[in-house]
Structure 1
Amino acid sequence: MIGDKPCPAGGGIRRSTMSDVSAETLLQTEVVAIRDVVCDGTCRHRSAEECAHSAHLVFPYRGVFVRHLGTDDAVAEANQVVFFNPAEGYRTSHPVAGGDACLDLVVDDALLRELAPAELLHEGATTAFRPQRLRIDARSQALVALLRHSLKRNAAETLEAETLALTLVRRAIGERTSHQAGASRGLQKLVDRAKLALSADLARRWTLAEIAAEVGVSPVYLTQVFRQVEGMPLYRYQLRLRLAQALDLLGRYDDLTALGLDLGFSSHSHFSAAFRQAYGRTPAEFQRSVRLR
Structure 2
Amino acid sequence: MGGRIAMTGQLQVTRQLTERPPASHGAINITDINIRTLFRTEVLSIQDVRCLGSVVGRSDEEWPAGYEIVFPRAGTFVRHGADGVHVADATQVLFFHPGQSYEIAHPVHGGDRCTVFELSRSVLVEVLGSHDPDVDELQERPFRTGSALVDARQRLAQHRLLRLVEDGWLGDPIELEESVLKHIDLAVTNAYARDGRAIGEAKRETRHAHAELASDVKLYLGERMADRIRLSEVASAVGSSPYHMCRIFKRQAGLPIHRYLRRLRLLHALDRLSDDPNELLTRTALDVGFSSHAHMSTAFRAEFGTTFAEVRRGMTGRRMREMRKIVEA
Q: TM-score range by the shorter chain?
A: 0.7 to 0.9
Tell me, in whole angstroms, the C-alpha distance in 1 between the residues paired with 2:263 and 2:44. Answer: 27
Aligned to 1:256: 281
Shift of 1:178: 6.0
2:297 aligned with 1:272: yes
Shift of 1:215: 0.7
Query: SS in structure 1 opposite 2:237?
Result: helix
Tell me, in whole angstroms, the C-alpha distance in 2 between the residues paired with 1:39 and 1:63. Answer: 9
| Structure 2 spans left out of the alignment, 5+ residues | 4-26, 200-205, 319-329
Tell me, in whole angstroms, the C-alpha distance in 1 between the residues paired with 2:189 and 2:160. Answer: 19
- Which one-letter code corresponds to 1:219 in the other structure? P
**Where is the helix percentage greater, Structure 1 or Structure 2?**
2
Aligned to 1:284: 309
Q: Percent of aligned pairs with the same residue?
A: 35
**Stretch deviating more after TM superposition (67-76 or 234-243):** 67-76
Aligned to 2:45: 33
The counterpart of 1:149, out of the listed 148, 163, 172, is 163
Going from structure 1 to structure 2, the CA distance change for 1:223 and 1:54 (only over 3 Å counts) comes to same
TM alignment of 1:56-205, pairs within 5 A: 56-70=68-82, 72-116=84-128, 117-118=131-132, 121=135, 123-126=137-140, 128-154=142-168, 157=171, 158-175=173-190, 179-180=194-195, 184-205=207-228
1:110-160: CA deviation from partner (whole Å, max 9, x where unpaired)? 222222221695724435312111111102221332232221112553344
Query: SS in structure 1 opposite 2:137?
Result: coil
Going from structure 1 to structure 2, the CA distance change for 1:145 and 1:120 (only over 3 Å counts) comes to farther
Going from structure 1 to structure 2, the CA distance change for 1:122 and 1:265 (only over 3 Å counts) comes to farther
TM-score (norm 2): 0.78
- Which one-letter code corresponds to 2:263 in the other structure? R
Tell me, in whole angstroms, the C-alpha distance in 1 between the residues paired with 2:192 and 2:117. Answer: 18
1:79-114: CA deviation from partner (whole Å, max 9, x where unpaired)? 111111112111111111111110000123222222
2:246 aligned with 1:223: yes
Tell me, in whole angstroms, the C-alpha distance in 2 between the residues paired with 1:102 and 1:111. Answer: 22
**Stretch deviating more after TM superposition (107-116 or 176-185):** 176-185
Tell me, in whole angstroms, the C-alpha distance in 2 between the residues paired with 1:71 and 1:109. Answer: 20
8 Å CA contact 2:72, 2:89 repeated in 1? yes
8 Å CA contact 2:71, 2:90 repeated in 1? yes
- Which one-letter code corresponds to 1:61 in the other structure? R
**Stretch deviating more after TM superposition (120-129 or 103-112):** 120-129
Shift of 1:17: 7.2
- Which one-letter code corresponds to 1:275 in the other structure? F
Going from structure 1 to structure 2, the CA distance change for 1:214 and 1:26 (only over 3 Å counts) comes to same
8 Å CA contact 2:125, 2:142 repeated in 1? no
> Which has the greater radius of gyration?
2
Query: SS in structure 2 opposite 1:46?
Result: coil
8 Å CA contact 2:148, 2:190 repeated in 1? no
8 Å CA contact 1:97, 1:200 repeated in 2? yes
Tell me, in whole angstroms, the C-alpha distance in 2 between the residues paired with 1:289 and 1:16. Answer: 37
8 Å CA contact 1:179, 1:230 repeated in 2? no
Going from structure 1 to structure 2, the CA distance change for 1:270 and 1:229 (only over 3 Å counts) comes to same
2:263 aligned with 1:234: no
Tell me, in whole angstroms, the C-alpha distance in 1 between the residues paired with 2:170 and 2:32. Answer: 29
Going from structure 1 to structure 2, the CA distance change for 1:17 and 1:122 (only over 3 Å counts) comes to farther
2:55 aligned with 1:55: no
Going from structure 1 to structure 2, the CA distance change for 1:173 and 1:62 (only over 3 Å counts) comes to same
Query: SS in structure 2 opposite 1:173?
Result: helix
8 Å CA contact 2:108, 2:219 repeated in 1? yes
Going from structure 1 to structure 2, the CA distance change for 1:216 and 1:27 (only over 3 Å counts) comes to same
8 Å CA contact 1:44, 1:95 repeated in 2? no
C-alpha RMSD of the superposition = 2.6
Tell me, in whole angstroms, the C-alpha distance in 1 between the residues paired with 2:111 and 2:134. Answer: 29
Query: SS in structure 2 opposite 1:118?
Result: coil
8 Å CA contact 1:66, 1:94 repeated in 2? yes
| Structure 1 spans left out of the alignment, 5+ residues | 1-7
